[in-house]
Amino acid sequence: MRLDRFLSEATELTRSQAKRALRQLEVSVDGETTRDAATQVEDGQEIRWQGRLLERIGRRYLMMNKPLGVECSLRPAHYPSVLSLIDIPKLERLHPVGRLDVETSGLLLISDDGQWAHHVTSPNRECVKRYRATLAEPLPVERAESVSRRFARGIELNGEEKPTRPATLERLSDTEVLIGVTEGRYHQVRRMLAAVGHPVATLHREAIGPLELDPDLKPGECRHLRPEEIAAF
């Protein structure tokens, strides 16, 4: 890795600021001051800036229990961004992996690894997202089977040229259902349920693929994913 890139990843410096710091002889590699931004550095080398020992910030993978009232946007329009709930270095590199609307809570993944995020969100990978929905009106037992079949065939949504991909609906009670989808269309679960005559009262995402929301996370809290959780995608 180039030294200027390392500095930008390990400090608050931008690449241009890192080059300026090098020109001002503020950086040393293994005890030797250097001004060459193109110097290749490797893990295990001692790199210091203004005497401070640096450590590279690697890829980050976070799980959040998203609360209501925050936006999954880097430029929120009306509500705070989910990133305002996180306090870690280089926050500006992180991006929500997929989105939950302001009125939906639950499992949200956040990362600065774009390729990994694509593996999670691409419809072609058929990664099932599971939601628990509370319905505004009861779904009788005798109707639940026909609604489930409609979900399995795909639902035609207003303004969409193609129906949704096959989805699942499991009735838990008169007013509670589990929904499984492999896409991430705009307000998809809400629109699907509204299309079959059962608008959503509350919506909570419980799982993405093999990863379930950590029950120890309170709304607004997050934690780093474990290696096996990252590898699951």
Structural domains for the chain: 3-53 (3.10.290.10), 58-125+215-233 (3.30.70.580), 128-208 (3.30.70.1560)
Instruction: Give the active site residues.
Output: 101
Question: Under a CB-based contact definition with an 8 Å cutoff, are residues 190 and 102 in contact?
Answer: no
Q: What is the pLDDT of residue 55?
A: 83
The dihedral sign for the CA sequence 149, 155, 156, 162: negative
State residue 47's pLDDT score.
Answer: 94
Q: Mean pLDDT in the chain?
A: 93
pLDDT tens, residue order, the chain (233 aa): 899 988 888 887 888 999 999 999 999 999 999 999 999 998 889 999 999 999 877 789 999 999 999 999 888 788 999 999 999 888 888 999 999 999 999 999 999 999 999 989 988 888 999 999 999 999 999 999 999 999 999 999 988 989 999 999 999 999 999 999 999 899 999 999 999 999 999 999 999 999 999 999 999 999 999 999 999 98
Task: Say what the alpha-carbon torsion angle 42, 46, 52, 57 is, to the nearest 10 degrees.
Answer: 30
- Cβ atoms within 10 Å of 23's Cβ, excluding its own: 11
The per-residue pLDDT for 13 is: 84
What distance in Å separates the CA atoms of residue 4 and residue 193, rounded to the nearest whole number? 51
Q: Give 214: exposed, middle or buried? Use CB within 10 Å, 0-12, 13-18, 19+.
A: middle
The CA distance from 132 to 137, in Å, is 15
Query: Environment class of residue 15 by beta-carbon count within 10 Å: exposed (0-12), middle (13-18) or buried (19+)?
Result: middle
